[in-house]
Amino acid sequence: MRHLRASWRLGCALLHAIAGWLTITLLFPHWPQQRRDATVQAWARRMLHVLGIPLQVSGEPPAQGPMLLVANHISWLDILVIHAARHCRFVAKSDLKHWPLLGTLATGGGTLYIEREKRRDAMRVVHHMAESLQRGEIVAVFPEGTTGDGEALLPFHANLVQAAISARAPVQPVALCFVDRSSGANSPGPLYLGDDTLLTSLWRTLAGPPFVAQVRFGEAQRDGGRDRRQWAHDLHAAVDALRHAVTPAQAGAQGTRAARGTAGSPGSPPARG
């Protein structure tokens, strides 16, 4: 039954992606930017619904720019989840631009592409990021530079933080967590590591135990005279603290497990129906 439901959701997700591709290709050229942004956010929320992934947002997303969002990186789902919480421009690896269908969707969402192996390209992207921030936009980056396992936070690369310093824009730490609905622990379903392909990760996401996508927004901060390395270090600590904060969903799951343990313990009174 689980595999049948996953197959149905996969088909619906493909249709929704195609609908998004058609909207970007045919309608976006004629729409103002504000309508495009709202459409991308609505499309992302609908896609999470199609995939059967509830979204929980804690903290305050930025009401407006300029703002640089720095987040941990776990999965191909990360961009979708943040878009559903608050539309922004992402900085992503240039490989994404050439993915069938997804590349068009990412480009239509305003993604800036970077070739991370080229130092000069990082400087070019930082320049474009600073220009976006100076225009009052919200830009998001994954300063780890690659996906992690959801348990340990990799070091942050400081280069992209320079854009906020150059534009004199604030930075807001953001934590992404995918939490198992039953246990409250980190879910391995959406991980995208090593030899994983997009299709295998997507199938594991759909066919595995259900989980909740959580976006946790921290307090925005200014550089306060810090250089990019020190600021990246402090932002790393802020994102890590957000990752380990206990949410109501996790507290509820822990309480449920505790109640079950108490009900089944020796000497406890029988449960009443």
What is the C-alpha separation between 159 and 144, in angstroms, rounded?
11
* Domain assignment present for 94: yes
Amino acid 272: pLDDT: 36
Whether the pLDDT of residue 165 is over 80: the answer is: yes
Average pLDDT over residues 168-183: 95
In this structure, the number of other CB atoms found within 10 A of the CB of residue 139 comes to: 28
Of 143, 161, 152, whose CA–CA distance to 226 is shortest?
161
Average pLDDT over residues 133-148: 91
Which residues are CB-contacts of 46 (< 8 A; sequence separation ≥ 6)?
Answer: 16
pLDDT tens digits for range 38-80: 999 999 999 999 999 999 999 999 999 999 999 999 988 999 9
pLDDT band at 194 (very low <50, low <70, confident <90, very high): confident
Average pLDDT over residues 232-250: 84
Of 161, 184, 205, whose CA–CA distance to 255 is shortest?
184
pTM: 0.85
Amino acid 256: pLDDT: 44
Whether the pLDDT of residue 258 is over 60: the answer is: no
- Least confident range from 52-56, 119-123, 165-169, 201-205: namely 119-123
Whole-number percent of the chain with pLDDT over 90:
60
What is the C-alpha separation between 249 and 233, in angstroms, rounded?
29
* Domain assignment present for 269: no
Amino acid 117: pLDDT: 64
* Domain assignment present for 263: no
Average pLDDT over residues 18-34: 94
Amino acid 105: pLDDT: 87
Q: Domain of 226: which CATH number? A: 3.40.1130
* Domain assignment present for 239: yes
Average pLDDT over residues 117-125: 77
Amino acid 264: pLDDT: 42
User: What rounded mean pLDDT belongs to the chain?
Assistant: 86
The DSSP secondary structure of 93-154, one letter per residue, reads EGGGGGSTTHHHHHHHTT-EEE-TT-HHHHHHHHHHHHHHHHTT-EEEE-TTSS---SSSPP
Instruction: Tell me the CB-side half-sphere exposure of residue 147, using CA atoms within 13 A.
Output: 20
Greater confidence, 63 or 264? Answer: 63
* Domain assignment present for 271: no
Phi-psi domain of 230 (left: phi exceeds 0; alpha: psi -120 through 50; beta: other) = alpha
* Domain assignment present for 268: no
Greater confidence, 239 or 194? Answer: 239
Amino acid 249: pLDDT: 52
Distance of CA 131 to the CA centre of its chain: 23
pLDDT tens digits for range 67-114: 999 999 998 899 999 999 999 999 887 777 877 778 888 888 888 888
Of 75, 232, 226, 80, whose CA–CA distance to 143 is shortest?
232
Angle between helix axes 33-51 and 77-85 (nearest 10 degrees) is: 120
- Please count the structural domains in the chain: 1
* Domain assignment present for 272: no
Amino acid 248: pLDDT: 52
Domain of residue 53 covers 2-257
Whether the pLDDT of residue 37 is over 80: the answer is: yes
Whole-number percent of the chain with pLDDT over 70:
88
* Domain assignment present for 190: yes
The listed range with the strongest mean pLDDT (130-139, 198-207, 240-249) is 130-139
Contact (Cβ atoms closer than 8 angstroms) between residue 204 and residue 6: no
